[in-house]
Amino acid sequence: MKERLMSRLDDKTAVIGIIGLGYVGLPLMLSFNAAGFRVLGFDTDATKINRLAEGRSYIRHIAGERVAAATATGRCEGTTDFSRAAEADALIICVPTPLNGHREPDLSFVVNSVETIVPFLHPGQVVSLESTTYPGTTEEELLPRLESRGLKVGSDIFLVFSPEREDPGNEQYSTTTIPKVCGGVTPCCLDVGLALYGGIISRVVPVSCPRTAEMTKLLENIHRAVNIGLVNELKIVCDTMGIDIREVIDAAATKPFGFTPYYPGPGLGGHCIPIDPFYLTWKAREYGLNTRFIELAGEVNTAMPDWVVNKVMHALNDRGRTLKDARILVMGIAYKKNVDDMRESPSVVLMEKLMGHGAVVHYSDPHVPVFPKIRRCHFDLASVEPTAENLAGYDCVLIATNHDDFDYETICDHARLIVDTRGVYPGNRPNVVHA
């Protein structure tokens, strides 16, 4: 089985199935197709499948021309019919792994995906999990389910964990140029996993087992979360002392060794950094361990929106205005600049908290024309055009996400008060408060 499957992967006659066509699955699907593979994309969202059939993209940073070129080959299609998993030689799972209301791992998307395809599995397939999760998930949750139909992992069917490393909007690195870690349940599984990803990725990094690969992904994101927590805490200290934290960071970054710059913000956003550390803290408790350092960073980062709201409140008070009934325009509601991804966006938390204090809140974001329905909440709002007239009509403009499309000089010229959480206005300006 192994030799036949690896041969099909090597000569690109293998059919690649991608389960979950979001910010990870769609670029992976397009990359496999561009490399010459036939690709099937699976998703429960019929809207996405219809957009693919029309050759249109539904993710801003993925060009529609890329999608159209892929579908035009006749070897790249989406489907909601998961029975077609039987057609695939490789099945790659790229579904969300959020937290539940108790900040515990929610593996329902992963488990449901696996249980949906299990009836259609057959000898000679490889299953890869890319969704970020705690160490042990692949072997504890996927392995027994794959073997429930009598298939033996390592001989009949193959199982690997290879964490995604997508960075939406990053023009320097793409799916195919970012090195990819891969761990197999058995040595044969690893060989197959390396053959699978070696067909499209410039460098595949083998590790000893799935647990190592799972922990590698968590370390990458915990590293960022902890360092961002550090600079967010220092931002509060520097603000109290009258020091510009960003000037401090830029000066420290001139040291050619031993320092990596991280920059503060209004909170953490995205599908990884605010969530993934808690996957490890939850799993560590199973071993009787407390991850105090990680949890402290989480507390600092989670508290940042409250600190920003407090800065807005005091800035308004200094101008004889209360937060209650104040008109506030939030600039940017995506979780990072130049994307339309709103997952765990701190901007949404800020909007909720400001409204909770009685403010009248609107937003402006060229990448999110209408506020979408998301799990956290929904506002019946559409993006406000940041014209001079509109800007002048707000008591406060809050820079929450620093998109390049914003005309910051126009904003500064016409806004009565600006609270800047992203450092877009260095130095001192009479109508700018840094937060």
pLDDT value, residue 101: 76
Q: Do 168 and 23 contact (CB within 8 A), yes or no?
A: yes
Has residue 301 got a pLDDT over 80?
A: yes
pLDDT band at residue 31 under the 50/70/90 scheme: very high
Residue 44 in contact with residue 112, Cβ under 8 Å? no
Q: Does the annotation count 272 as an active-site position?
A: yes
Comparing 245-249, 280-284, 384-388, 410-414, which segment has the lowest mean pLDDT? Answer: 280-284
Q: What is the pLDDT of residues 36-68, one digit of tens each?
A: 999 999 999 999 999 999 999 999 889 999 999
| Whole-Å CA distances, 285 to 106, 110, 134 | 16, 22, 12
Q: What is the pLDDT of residue 168?
A: 79
Domains of the chain: 2-208 (3.40.50.720), 232-434 (3.40.50.720)
pLDDT single digits (tens) 163-213: 999 887 788 888 999 999 999 999 999 999 999 999 999 999 999 999 999
Is the model's pLDDT at 19 over the cut of 90?
Answer: yes
Q: What is the pLDDT of residues 234-253, one digit of tens each?
A: 999 999 999 999 999 999 99
Which position among 188, 189, 238, 272 bears the catalytic label?
A: 272
| Encoded amino acid at 377, one letter | C
pLDDT at 349: 94
Mean pLDDT of 290-311: 93
Strand order in the sheet with 432-434: 360-364, 327-331, 396-399, 418-420, 432-434
Structure tokens at 209: 């087992």
Q: Are 26 and 59 in contact (CB under 8 A)?
A: yes
Proportion of the chain above pLDDT 70, given as a percent: 99
For residue 11, is pLDDT > 90? yes
Q: For residue 310, is pLDDT > 70? A: yes
Residue 433 half-sphere exposure toward CB, CA atoms < 13 A: 20
- Measured CA to CA, the distance from residue 347 to residue 377 in angstroms comes to 12
User: Which three-class secondary structure string do you get for 307-352?
Assistant: HHHHHHHHHHHHCCCCCCCCEEEEECCCCCCCCCCCCCCHHHHHHH
Does pLDDT of 374 surpass 80?
Answer: no
Place of tokens 């067909």: 199
- Whether 409 contacts 391, CB under 8 Å: no
Angle between helices 210-241 and 292-318 (to 10 degrees): 30
Query: In the prediction, which pLDDT does 376 show?
Result: 63
